[in-house]
Chains A and B, each alone.
Chain A
Amino acid sequence: MLTRSFARFQQAYRQAPWQHLRQWWGLFALGGAVMVALAVLHLALVSRTAIVGREMENLRAEIANLRSENVRLEAQYAEITAYEVMHARALALGYRKVPPEQQIYVYVDGYSPPQTAPPAAAPPFAASAGLPAEYTQSLVDWVLGYLQGVER
């Protein structure tokens, strides 16, 4: 009973002329609103991406500036701690090298000096060390070798 009444109401509602016109306008407006929403979303995303892109560019520029400053400071530090400068400063401050006869060695129980890792194994000695055959074989040796090669 209730379903039937609802169906009648629905039919009457749809068939009203003014209602029919409004439905078309509503659909059109809905489509427009969706498009606007999509456009706004697109613009928002693009603007955010652009801002991030600009920040990346700024950060890259900042990295380049910092790197430039870093290499300048590193070179400057090396310059003021160079051997020649430090040596001159040490002498000016009154430091002198201790002559060997004044050096004192203290035995420290358990201390072992740093060890040097042994180098990789040597290549075979005889393989490349001997004189080339051209320098050692006689003419007879060469002819015999040549004939043996021909026989093979």
Chain B
Amino acid sequence: MNVSSRRLLLATALFGAVGLLVPLRILYLQFGPQAERIRAQEIEGQYVVVQPPRGEIYDRNGQLLAGNQTVYEVGVDLTQMDDPETLALTLSVLLEVDHDALLSQLQNPPAGLRYLVVKDFVGAEVQQQLAALQEELAQQGAGASAEGETPPSLRGLSFRQHFFRVYPQHQLAANVLGFVNYEYRGVLGVEEQYDVFLGGRPQRVWVPRSPLEADQVEMPTENAALELTLDAALQGEVEDILDAALVRYGAQSGVIVVMDPRNGEIWAMASAPRFDPNRFWEYDDYFANAAEYNRAVSMVYEPGSVFKILTMAAGLDADVIQPDTTFLDTGIYYIGQYAVYNWNRAAWGEQTMTGCLAHSLNVCLAWVADEMGVETFYRYMRSFGLGRRTGIDLANEAAGRLKLPGDSDWYPLELGTNAFGQGVAVTPVQMLAAASAVATDGRMVAPHVVRAVIGDNGRYEVPAQTIGAPISAETAETLSWMLSEAISTETSLAIVPGYRIAGKTGTAEIPGEEGTNTSFIGWGPVDDPQFMVYVWLERPTASIWASEVAAPVFRDVAQVVIDFLNLPPDEIRLATER
């Protein structure tokens, strides 16, 4: 074999060996003992807890009412820790945890525990302080250990970032929003009602360690945001009016609701007392039960004379009475063997139906109900939705109670007392929904607080809906004008100068207790209703009469709403429409 042949043979052998070794090495890495060891250690990937931010809640103008903030879970990796004393001292000062208990846990952890959670929901500022301190001590430690000293160390301290709910407007609309608890569950209000859409709970996802499988990571589902019908500025002003009214009239609690009678959008819903949902753990300090959280939808009460609107509407629609029908008020009316009296036990003489409303005569309304008869009266009351939830999109709505003939606790006298709002239990929202039939064209609108749901697939607008048509449009118009006439003659404190308003006061004794419930329901302008306001003040001490307590509050709210709507006085508006 000559030289060139040997060289050729050598080169061939070399290339052949390389060509053989490379795939052999690949096979070895893939299936060899190293690969087996990696698999045995289960480090191909791991389950990681990820948390998408909970869907935001905005007002109708895009003002954020409920958002998210970054908080941290602070813990200690016990396998990395080398200075429990420094850790316990630092964390007890900055996280306000018990020093001795923490030190004991760090020095004598339960068997098998590798990671100790010290505190969750720690704010970003404190976390940054801790992280900076940890870094500083680590740097000092590097220098000190070179000199043979044992420096203080925060080694093992770790942070897990996650989101939590924040309410940047604090108390504003708190009773509508509800809150989110430590388990990331919505409690009460919109938060509970739309919990499924808003989401935000932590999810476990598999994250492979190999970057080759990076595309297989399951991303957590995105949550939907909500746009409410509330206007934050109007809500704020209405809450201010309510708070001032509680002080001025010495009331125990109160509710003000502002609604668009044309489509049921709630523009403002104030309920007192209320609290800052950022500090939801103080719930028990403010509320004895869940019904007190949002009295507008959850608290039932005897409405008193505001209920006369419904009785009169039923009488007019059933053609039992007309606006000019007269009634001779002798101050007493018998339903069977039971007597019904006026609020002042006086006899008011001959009155038209408008006069009955203006003077809020119980006797007259009991007569109207009696003229209608049990069947007709209760048929109308049921068609007004009494005793049933309105379906408002807020958690914990109460159904109220309308006793019906045949119920074990219904007595014939109920016909007379129900006619002027006693013996029935309603929520303010129920009364608003029922009276919206009178305010507009006989159709009741469904009150709602969510205007749109905004998700990955776009924006879904919640349509306005009617929930019944208990009376005709003619009846509604007639009664609106009667109420307007009544208010202009008798309830002067509710009058808004320049605007024709329809409304009714309601004063009801609280059964078995001291004090009264004072209410006012009104809407305007009468010829083209654009807003409805409901006021309820519980147990006022300055006066027990709604005409002196609830009526002026209505006027203040109506004036604010008129400004909010840029609604010119009737004279100007009607002149420009001609």
Contacts and interface: CB of A to CB of B under 8 A. Distances in A.
B235 A74 contact: no
Contacts of A52: 211, 214
Contacts of A139: none
Given A53-B211, A54-B211, A125-B383, 4 more contacts: A42-B26, A119-B465, A129-B383, A131-B404
B20 interface: yes
A82 B169 contact: yes
Contacts of A119: 262-264, 443, 445-446, 463-466
A79 B168 CA distance: 5
Contact of B464 (A53, A60, A117, A131): A117
A53 B67 contact: no
Interface of chain A: mostly helix, strand, loop or mixed: helix
Nearest to B264: A119
B68 interface: yes
A116 interface: yes
Interface of B: 5, 8-9, 12, 15-16, 18-20, 22-23, 26, 53, 56, 63-65, 67-70, 124, 161, 163, 166, 168-170, 172, 210-215, 217, 219, 232-233, 235-236, 260, 262-264, 375, 378-380, 382-383, 404-406, 443-446, 463-470, 497-498, 559, 562-563, 568-569, 572, 576
B18 A36 contact: yes
Nearest to B219: A60
Given A54-B211, A100-B559, A131-B378, A71 B466 contact: no
Contact of B22 (A39, A129, A135): A39
A49 B211 contact: yes
A95 interface: no
Contacts of A51: 211
A105 interface: yes
A144 interface: no
A82 B463 CA distance: 28
A42 B467 CA distance: 68
Contact of B406 (A57, A68, A84, A135): A135
Contact of A116 (B63, B262, B463): B262
Contact of B69 (A54, A72, A116, A130): A72
A56 interface: yes
A122 interface: yes
Contact of B375 (A18, A33, A105, A131): A131
B276 to A, nearest CB: 11
B483 to A, nearest CB: 22
Contacts of A118: 262-263, 464
A120 to B, nearest CB: 5
B379 A71 contact: no
A121 B465 CA distance: 7
A75 interface: yes
B405 A135 contact: yes
B212 A33 contact: no
Contacts of B404: 131, 135
Nearest to A123: B468
A127 B168 CA distance: 46
B70 A35 contact: no
A20 interface: no
A50 B211 contact: yes
25 contacts: A25-B9, A29-B15, A32-B15, A50-B211, A53-B211, A56-B214, A56-B215, A60-B217, A67-B53, A68-B163, A72-B70, A74-B64, A75-B166, A82-B170, A82-B172, A83-B169, A83-B233, A84-B169, A100-B498, A118-B262, A119-B445, A122-B467, A129-B379, A129-B468, A131-B375
Contacts of B172: 82-84
A38 B404 CA distance: 87
B214 A71 contact: no
B325 to A, nearest CB: 24
Contacts of A71: 53, 67-70, 163
Nearest to B464: A119
A97 B66 CA distance: 28
Interface string A44-63: 00100111111011001000
Nearest to A26: B12
A78 B63 contact: yes
